[in-house]
Amino acid sequence: MYDYIRRFLIVMAIALSIGILFISTTVSFANANDTINEVNFIWPTVGHVTDTFGTRNGKHYGIDIAAPSGTPVVSVGAGVVTKSYYSSTYGDVIFIEHANGYETVYAHLHKRLVSEGAVVEQGEKIGLVGNTGRSSGDHLHFEVHDGNWAMSKKDAIDPILVLGENKDTFFVLSEEELEKERYQVASVSETINTEDTHENSNTIYLRVKKGDSLWSIAKSYQVTIEQLKSWNELSSDQIKIGQELKIGQSSQYIVQRGDTLWKIAEQTGTTVSNIKQMNGLKGDLIQVGTSLTVNK
């Protein structure tokens, strides 16, 4: 009889412990959701989300918002600038600590407009969209950390959770300015139809179609907007449907499917070692769409 009572009490104790753990976990998740729901951040810029949180094998700790160089970037909430400097990876970057415990990061800026220690209001312009640091096109890389930013980025959360779906809550602009920003960004095409391209020697020519922008074309061919403008003698970022754009020039080679460094070297009359040296390549791996310097 004693053993029966003892076993019964042990089972009840285990059940009670599991119940307490379940309730505690549920409350913890509920509190986390309540905290996220209470955040009233606005969007940091006007643009098109081209990469989301958790991509690149889980190593992308923010979102990428494509926009023309010089597009205003604002603080998503009131706070204090904890860092404002140039990084080899983030480029020109700003960190802002907010009273709700979050810290936000604004990277690859063309220009920083606030310094460390500055107190900023929600919607205050802090920088301009750019392409600095480890970046392949004009965009804002934006991160949110539940706590202070750490090198491991262990507390990074999906910015979409605190920004919400209303992308019109960016910042206060006049109607004229807002329409101008929307026109400049327009719709960004993520892929280029190869049927709209043709080759001449080492240069690719692209026929602009609806939805194309210099940013989307530059991203697809792994070149910069500045290179596209230089190759085509463009004075602005605006392009027209049906316009033919040159991608590359005599000293450039756009990597095509099936290419190798040896094949490119043979076609362009140079050597593999020269190509690797001019392009800073440490190995023999090359990606389709990459622009390589093949001669000077």
Q: What does the pLDDT read at residue 230?
A: 82
**Dihedral of alpha carbons 217, 222, 225, 228, sign:** negative
Residue 236, both tokens: 């602005």
Q: What does the pLDDT read at residue 167?
A: 53
Q: What does the pLDDT read at residue 44?
A: 92
Q: What does the pLDDT read at residue 286?
A: 77
Q: What does the pLDDT read at residue 17?
A: 53
Q: What does the pLDDT read at residue 75?
A: 94
Q: What does the pLDDT read at residue 173?
A: 41
Got the DSSP string for 67-115? --TT-EEE-SSSEEEEEEEEETTTEEEEEEEETTSEEEEEEEEEEE---
Q: What does the pLDDT read at residue 280?
A: 81
Q: What does the pLDDT read at residue 156?
A: 93
Phi, psi at 293, each rounded to 5° = -80, 125
Q: How many CA atoms lie within 13 A of 18 on its CB side?
A: 6
Q: What's this model's pTM, rounded to 2 decimal places?
A: 0.49
Residue 210, both tokens: 């609806």
pLDDT per residue as tens, the chain (296 positions) = 556 565 655 556 555 554 554 444 444 434 444 445 567 888 998 888 888 888 878 888 999 888 888 889 999 999 999 999 998 889 999 999 999 999 999 999 999 999 999 999 998 999 999 999 888 788 999 999 999 998 888 999 999 888 865 554 444 444 454 444 433 333 233 333 444 544 444 456 778 887 788 887 877 666 778 878 887 888 888 888 888 888 766 577 777 777 778 778 777 767 787 788 778 887 777 777 777 877 65
